[in-house]
A = this chain, B = another copy of it.
């Protein structure tokens, strides 16, 4: 059965997965330190990894396996709010977005899709979690759906009990304030089996699999 999966969601020691303010210069708000540990190069698998091949990198590389579409919050696509302007913004990733599948961007302001040569197509959809997931399934060809974040959209899917797998990474940094996936998710752990592994760099990876 197809899964709804979250991968590589970084969490600070005080529980935040994004900072409080996003700008063009600071895509993840004040929480840049959260991603200082993250090696984005590995999401295509270990073949594109610089030396060495580490446990953290192998865990990261599960990101794309079996994924047919991603759902992301608007803030992950860009820092704008309100109606889209004429700024030709095509996301943070240049001409090679790493997704290579359809991507649903959740926004109250729909617009025409944006397609890239490498298979990435951004669809801008005004929808709640269940409706967005139904559309993602239409696009994904039976493969799994990745929830790409940020934490606000992940939290909405968790609250709707639509998440099958969560890969969380606790990073040894303290942010002070920001956005958390845990707000309003008390007792969430009761719905999952949880495995925890700590790697050589001191990151703790948690694998939450929804109980069947």
- B-binding residues in A (CB < 8 A): 3, 5, 45-48, 51-55, 58-59, 61-62, 65-67, 143-144, 165, 167, 193, 195-200, 205, 207, 209, 212
Contact = CB atoms under 8 A, between A and B. Distances in A.
Cβ-closest 3 pairs across A and B: A47-B66, A52-B209, A45-B65
B52 A207 contact: yes
Counting chain B CB atoms within 10 Å of each CB, which of A3, A45, A55 scores highest? A55
A61 B51 contact: no
A52 to B, nearest CB: 3
Contacts of A55: 59, 195, 197, 205, 207
5 contacts: A47-B65, A48-B66, A53-B209, A55-B195, A61-B61
Given A45-B62, A61-B61, 11 more contacts: A46-B65, A46-B66, A47-B67, A52-B193, A53-B165, A53-B167, A55-B195, A58-B59, A58-B61, A61-B62, A196-B200
Main secondary structure of the interface of A (DSSP, over half): mixed
User: Number of copies of this chain in the oligomer?
Assistant: 2
A53 B62 contact: yes
Contacts of A47: 65-67, 143-144
Nearest to A68: B47
A54 B206 CA distance: 9
A51 B212 contact: yes
A15 B62 CA distance: 30
A155 to B, nearest CB: 21
A136 to B, nearest CB: 16
A192 to B, nearest CB: 9
A195 B62 contact: no
Contacts of A212: 51
